[in-house]
């Protein structure tokens, strides 16, 4: 799955928070740029100045929203929050773009959220009946209502109480008058990294690449069920719940995160390359002439496959670097041009060749079908598709918008059927064990600390608001 031509809306996001760094908006901007792959629908930066929080948020890419130095200089202050939000389908609402900023009589609070809650709907309903008014249609606002209605004494206690009420995948960043606070859900579905800035300040961000971008030094990954307070006294951390067990989203390793990021000590590129090596062992293709990857997210796995298989790694697909979300769409009869605008086959490389095409995943299958056709039209003799992850059969409820199993080709078709549908000469997936051992987290939790629910339906939490819906869909699929 090429990361910008897959055909499903996602709800990933990227967060960054900075404490005690002159002109924090600048480093937030550069950091968000490094996290841009986690969300392209919109972005925002909030800055704390003299107990007031100002923010600028809009639709678009970070560099489109912040066009000149003035736009950052206006956001004065030495502490900040930044957020990038994924392009979702359907109605877009500027109110959903974060950081959310709350102006209370007793002080301003900004917050940013990555992930998805499974009981947000029920909580929201309950609070509305008590007179609360929600301004956004997103889950993210729920936590703040819980905090404000909490009868606990201190803000820390209110916050911990609220965190214990929400269920799902989340990392939160909060910026208050005197603190930057980060929190990770009890399963640690989403990554959050803490770093030390070159001078005296600190940074928390969704991926370590953002730390590299601004010259920060890695300190630690926030752990499941952990809350981190950064203030002028330094860093403090504590667990807000006893019920915690790591189950980080395996999709972060498979295609969300940047290859140069490290999550819980594991480099993403290295994990992908290793998944390719294992895939080569599990699903060899000795007759192939060359191995190619679908740029960019599958190149690591493809090179791993090639190395392990001893088959030449070639550049058979080129990604147009000027790809934009806003291209004029071709007419109906030329629909596959949508792929051509983004990917080109290198005819001289693929012509007459038996090819192993490595991709990171298959969602609906439409993109895979188009790429296979692209290669065949360029003269490929055979195209053997190898997927560097297990088949996607179950929806995600923790932050990836694959909430409908009917869209998942592997939930509805056998491997043979899929091979035929996408027009491949053969098709194979990485095994669950292969994926786990490629990533090789050092956790003693199930699946070595990975969430494998998309592959096997083993959800680390109760599904609450989604329980019913999921059972119904499962029933349909099982009947198939």
Kindly identify the residues of this chain, within the stretch 376-435, that bind a second copy according to CB under 8 A: 378
Residue in 49, 87, 235, 346 binding a second copy, rule: CB under 8 A: 346
Residue with tokens 């996290």: 35
344 near a second copy, judged by CB under 8 A: yes
User: With respect to a second copy, which residue has the nearer C-beta, 15 or 144?
Assistant: 144
User: With respect to a second copy, which residue has the nearer C-beta, 124 or 244?
Assistant: 124
Buried/exposed 451-463: b ≥16 CB within 10 Å, e otherwise: bbbbbeeebbbeb
User: With respect to a second copy, which residue has the nearer C-beta, 303 or 419?
Assistant: 303
User: With respect to a second copy, which residue has the nearer C-beta, 412 or 437?
Assistant: 437
The residue range among 172-180, 311-319, 423-431, 457-465 that interacts with a second copy, by the rule CB under 8 A, is 311-319
Phi, psi dihedrals of residue 205, rounded to the nearest 5°? -150, 160
User: With respect to a second copy, which residue has the nearer C-beta, 102 or 220?
Assistant: 102
CB 193 within 8 Å of CB 248: no
Q: Whole-number minimum distance, CB 362 to a second copy, in Å?
A: 21
User: With respect to a second copy, which residue has the nearer C-beta, 74 or 467?
Assistant: 74
178 near a second copy, judged by CB under 8 A: no
Site string for a second copy, 64-93 (x = CB under 8 A): x-xxxx-xx------------------x--
Q: Whole-number minimum distance, CB 2 to a second copy, in Å?
A: 11
221 known member of a binding site: no
Task: Dig out the tokens for 431 from the structure.
Answer: 């095994």
Is residue 375 classed as helix, strand or coil in its secondary structure? helix
Size of the site for a second copy (CB under 8 A): 85
Q: Whole-number minimum distance, CB 453 to a second copy, in Å?
A: 27
Show contacts with a second copy in window 210-249 (CB under 8 A).
212-213
Q: Catalytic positions, please?
A: 13
Query: What does each C-alpha distance from 296 to 249, 263, 329 come to in angstroms?
Result: 20, 19, 22
60 near a second copy, judged by CB under 8 A: no
Torsion of CA 66, 112, 247, 302, to 10 degrees: -10
Q: Whole-number minimum distance, CB 213 to a second copy, in Å?
A: 6
27 known member of a binding site: no
Task: Dig out the tokens for 186 from the structure.
Answer: 């009890």
Residue in 51, 94, 217, 335 binding a second copy, rule: CB under 8 A: 94
Q: Whole-number minimum distance, CB 95 to a second copy, in Å?
A: 7
Show contacts with a second copy in window 102-141 (CB under 8 A).
102-106, 124-125, 128, 130-135, 137, 141
375 near a second copy, judged by CB under 8 A: no
9 near a second copy, judged by CB under 8 A: no
CB 168 within 8 Å of CB 120: yes
The residue range among 172-180, 241-249, 262-270, 274-282 that interacts with a second copy, by the rule CB under 8 A, is 262-270
Strand partners, 386: 358, 428
The residue range among 227-235, 344-352, 423-431, 464-472 that interacts with a second copy, by the rule CB under 8 A, is 344-352
CB 316 within 8 Å of CB 349: yes
Q: Whole-number minimum distance, CB 137 to a second copy, in Å?
A: 6
318 vs 445: CA distance, rounded Å: 40
209 near a second copy, judged by CB under 8 A: yes
Spacing of C-alpha 345 from chain mean position: 28
Residue with tokens 């209370």: 104
Show contacts with a second copy in window 267-306 (CB under 8 A).
267, 269-270, 273, 296, 299-300, 303
The residue range among 230-238, 330-338, 427-435, 454-462 that interacts with a second copy, by the rule CB under 8 A, is 330-338
Residue in 7, 152, 200, 320 binding a second copy, rule: CB under 8 A: 320
Q: Whole-number minimum distance, CB 478 to a second copy, in Å?
A: 32
User: With respect to a second copy, which residue has the nearer C-beta, 137 or 414?
Assistant: 137
Residue with tokens 């968000």: 32
Q: What is the DSSP string of 262-330?
A: EETTEEHHHHHHHHHHHHHHHS--TT-SEEEE-TTTTHHHHHHHHHHHT--B---EEE-TT--TTPPPP
426 known member of a binding site: no
User: With respect to a second copy, which residue has the nearer C-beta, 40 or 246?
Assistant: 40
Strand partners, 354: 382
Task: Dig out the tokens for 326 from the structure.
Answer: 């806003």
165 near a second copy, judged by CB under 8 A: no
Residue in 76, 156, 237, 337 binding a second copy, rule: CB under 8 A: 337
Residue in 259, 423, 446, 457 binding a second copy, rule: CB under 8 A: 259
Per the annotation, where are the binding residues?
Answer: 297, 359-360
Per the annotation, where are the binding residues for Mg(2+)?
Answer: 297, 359-360
């Amino acid at each position: 799955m090429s990361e910008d031509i897959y055909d499903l809306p996602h709800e990933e996001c990227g967060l960054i928070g900075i404490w005690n760094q002159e002109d924090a908006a600048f480093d937030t901007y550069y950091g968000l740029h490094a996290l841009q792959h986690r969300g392209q629908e919109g972005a925002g930066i909030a800055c704390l100045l003299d107990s007031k929080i100002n923010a600028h948020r809009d639709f678009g890419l970070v560099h489109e929203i912040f066009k000149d130095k003035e736009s950052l200089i206006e956001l004065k202050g030495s502490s900040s929050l930044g957020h990038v939000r994924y392009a979702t389908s359907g109605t877009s609402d500027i109110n959903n773009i974060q950081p959310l900023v709350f102006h209370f009589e007793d002080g301003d609070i900004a917050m940013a959220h990555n992930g998805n809650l499974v009981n947000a709907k029920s909580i929201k309903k309950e609070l509305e009946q008590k007179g609360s008014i929600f301004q956004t249609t997103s889950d993210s606002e729920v936590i703040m209502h819980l905090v404000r209605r909490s009868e606990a004494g201190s803000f820390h206690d209110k916050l911990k109480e609220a965190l214990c009420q929400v269920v799902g995948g989340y990392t939160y960043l909060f910026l208050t008058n005197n603190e930057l606070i980060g929190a990770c859900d009890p399963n640690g579905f989403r990554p959050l990294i803490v770093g030390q800035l070159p001078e005296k300040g600190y940074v928390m961000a969704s991926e370590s690449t953002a730390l590299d971008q601004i010259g920060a030094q890695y300190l630690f990954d926030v752990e499941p069920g952990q809350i981190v307070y950064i203030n002028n006294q330094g860093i403090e951390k504590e667990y807000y719940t006893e019920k915690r067990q790591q189950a980080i989203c395996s999709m972060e390793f498979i295609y969300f995160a940047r290859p140069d990021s490290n999550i819980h000590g594991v480099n993403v590129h290295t994990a992908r390359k290793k998944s390719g090596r294992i895939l080569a062992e599990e699903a060899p293709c000795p007759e192939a002439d060359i191995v190619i990857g679908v740029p960019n997210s599958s190149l690591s796995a493809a090179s791993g496959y090639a190395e392990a298989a001893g088959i030449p790694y070639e550049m058979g697909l080129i990604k147009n670097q000027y790809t934009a979300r806003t291209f004029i769409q071709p007419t109906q009869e030329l629909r596959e041009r949508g792929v051509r605008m983004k990917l080109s086959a290198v005819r001289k490389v693929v012509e007459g060749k038996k090819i192993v095409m490595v991709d990171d995943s298959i969602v609906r299958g439409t993109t895979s079908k188009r790429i296979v056709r692209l290669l065949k039209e360029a003269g490929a003799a055979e195209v053997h598709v190898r997927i560097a992850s297990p088949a996607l059969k179950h929806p995600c409820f923790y932050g990836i918008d694959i909430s409908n199993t009917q869209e998942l080709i592997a939930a509805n078709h056998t491997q043979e059927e899929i091979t035929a549908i996408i027009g491949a000469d053969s098709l194979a997936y990485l095994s669950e064990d292969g994926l786990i051992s490629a990533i090789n987290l050092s956790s003693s939790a199930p699946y070595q600390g990975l969430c494998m629910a998309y592959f096997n339906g083993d959800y680390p939490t109760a599904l609450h608001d989604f329980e019913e819906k999921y059972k119904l869909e499962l029933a349909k699929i099982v009947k198939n």
